[in-house]
Chain A
Amino acid sequence: MTSNRHILIMLLIITALCHNCISAGHAADFDRIIIPRVKYGGGGDWYTGPTSMPNLLKQASERLNMPTQTENIAVSISDPELFRYPMLYLTGHGQVRFSDFEINTLLNYLDNGGFLWVNDSYGIDRFIRREMRRLYPDREFELLPADHAIFKMVYDFPEGLPKIHEHDGKPPAAYAIFDKGRMKILYTYESDIGDGLEDAGIHKVDTPEIREKAMQMALNLLVYVMMQ
Chain B
Amino acid sequence: MIMHSLLRLFGYNLSPIRDIDSSAMTLAWGWAGLILLLIALLPLSWWVYRCEGKNISDKMRRQLLAIRVLWVILLAILMCGPVLIVSGYVPQRNRLAVMIDTSRSMSIKHREVSRLDQIKKLFDGGFIGRLEEKTGIYPEVFSFADNVSPVSRQEVEQFSLSPDGNQTDISNAVRNVVGNLGEGSLLGIIMISDGVSTTGDNPAMALANMRTPVHFVAPGQEGESADMALHLTRPPAQGYLNSSVRVRGEVSLHRVATSSVTVTVRRNGEFFTSTTADFASANEKAAFAFNVPCEEEGNFRFELEIPALENELTSENNQAGFLLKVVRERLNIMALSGRLSWDMKFIGNALLTDPNARTVHWARLRDNRWICARDLKPEAAQNNPDLHEDLKIADVLVLNSADYDMLKPLEEEIVRRVEAGTLGLLIIPSSKNFSELGYQGTQIEKLLPVSTSSETWRGTPGNLVLPSAETPYNFLRLIDDPIQNVEFFATLPRFEGIYEYGGLKPGSEVLVSSTVRSSSDTIPFMIRARAGLGNVVLISGGPLWPAGFRLVPSDRGFAPYSALVVNMCKWLANRREDAQVSIELASSRGYVGQGNNVRVWVMNSKNELQANAQVSLTITDERGGSTSLPCIETSEKGCYETAFVPAFRGLHRLEAEARYQGRELGRAKSEILIEMSTAEFDEPIVKTSLMTQLASDTGGIFATVDQAEKIIEAIDAEPGQKLESKSIDLRDSWLLLIILLALPMVEWYLRRIRGLS
Contacts and interface: CB of A to CB of B under 8 A. Distances in A.
Chains A and B belong together in one complex: yes
Interface of A: 20, 23-31, 33, 63-67, 80, 83-84, 86, 108, 112-114, 149-150, 152-154, 156, 181-182, 223-224, 226-228
A26 B543 CA distance: 13
Interface string B431-462: 11100000000000000000000001111100
Contact of A149 (B338, B378, B433, B549): B378
A63 B376 CA distance: 22
B373 interface: yes
Contacts of B301: none
B542 A31 contact: yes
A25 B457 contact: yes
Contact of A227 (B343, B346, B373): B373
Nearest to A29: B459
Interface in B402-451: 429-433
B345 A153 contact: no
Interface in B496-552: 496-497, 499, 542-543, 545-546, 548-551
Given A24-B459, A28-B432, A223-B371, 11 more contacts: A27-B457, A30-B459, A31-B343, A65-B339, A113-B345, A113-B349, A181-B376, A182-B349, A226-B340, A226-B345, A227-B340
B551 A86 contact: no
Contacts of B340: 64-66, 223, 226-227
B379 interface: yes
Given A31-B342, A228-B345, A86 B545 contact: yes
Contacts of B551: 80, 83, 108, 112
Interface stretch (B26-34, B255-263, B358-366, B700-708): B358-366
Given A65-B339, A67-B341, A113-B548, A25 B458 contact: yes
Contacts of A66: 339-341
A212 to B, nearest CB: 16
A29 B456 CA distance: 14
B351 to A, nearest CB: 12
Nearest to B375: A181
15 contacts: A25-B457, A26-B457, A27-B499, A28-B432, A29-B431, A30-B429, A30-B542, A65-B339, A86-B549, A113-B545, A152-B381, A153-B381, A224-B378, A226-B344, A228-B373
B279 interface: no
Contact of A113 (B346, B366, B456): B346
Contact of A27 (B366, B371, B381, B497): B497
B12 interface: no
Interface in B456-473: 456-460
B380 interface: yes
Contacts of A20: 456
B558 interface: yes
Contacts of A182: 349, 376
A108 B557 CA distance: 10
A37 B365 CA distance: 26
Contacts of B377: 149, 181, 228
A160 B543 CA distance: 34
A12 to B, nearest CB: 16
Interface of B: 338-346, 348-349, 361, 363, 365-366, 369, 371, 373, 375-381, 429-433, 456-460, 496-497, 499, 542-543, 545-546, 548-551, 558
B338, B348, B378, B549 interface centre (most CB from chain A within 10 Å):
B378
A25 B459 contact: yes
A170 B550 CA distance: 39
A25 B462 CA distance: 14
B339 A153 contact: no
A101 to B, nearest CB: 14
A27 B433 contact: yes
Nearest to A31: B543
Contact of A226 (B342, B456, B546): B342
Nearest to A226: B340
A67 B401 CA distance: 12
A228 B558 CA distance: 18
A141 B450 CA distance: 49
A131 to B, nearest CB: 21
A80 B338 CA distance: 31
Contacts of A83: 546, 549-551
B366 A64 contact: yes
Contacts of A227: 340, 345, 361, 363, 371, 373, 376, 378
Contacts of B546: 83-84
A24 B433 CA distance: 13
Contact of A86 (B342, B373, B379): B342
Nearest to B518: A23
A30 B431 contact: yes
A28 B459 contact: no
Contacts of A228: 345, 348, 373, 376-378
A84 B550 contact: yes
A88 B363 CA distance: 23
Nearest to B341: A31
A79 to B, nearest CB: 12
A86 B431 contact: no
A66 B338 CA distance: 10
Contacts of B339: 64-67
A219 B200 CA distance: 65
Contacts of B497: 25, 27, 29-30
A27 B502 CA distance: 17
Contacts of B341: 31, 66-67, 226
A152 B431 CA distance: 28
Contacts of A224: 378
B667 to A, nearest CB: 41
A27 B548 contact: no
A83 B458 CA distance: 24
Contacts of A30: 429, 431, 457, 459, 496-497, 542-543
Contacts of A25: 457-460, 497
A80 B697 CA distance: 60
A227 B363 CA distance: 8
Contacts of B558: 112
B380 A24 contact: no
A113 B551 CA distance: 11
A152 B380 contact: yes
Contact of B430 (A27, A223, A226): A27
Contacts of B543: 30-31
A31 B548 CA distance: 14
Nearest to A66: B340
A160 to B, nearest CB: 14
Given A33-B342, A228-B377, A24 B542 contact: no
Nearest to A28: B431
A27, A154, A156, A224 interface centre (most CB from chain B within 10 Å):
A27
B352 to A, nearest CB: 8
Contacts of B380: 149, 152-153, 156
B541 to A, nearest CB: 9
Nearest to B551: A83
Nearest to A154: B381
Contacts of A33: 342
Contact of B371 (A80, A84, A113, A154): A154
The 9 closest A-B pairs by CB, nearest first: A25-B459, A31-B543, A83-B550, A227-B373, A227-B378, A28-B431, A152-B380, A27-B457, A226-B340
A227 to B, nearest CB: 4
Contacts of B459: 24-26, 29-30
Contacts of B346: 113
A83 B558 CA distance: 12
B346 to A, nearest CB: 6
A63 B457 CA distance: 26
Contacts of B342: 31, 33, 86, 226
B365 A23 contact: no
B365 A154 contact: yes
Contact of A24 (B349, B371, B456): B456
A144 to B, nearest CB: 13
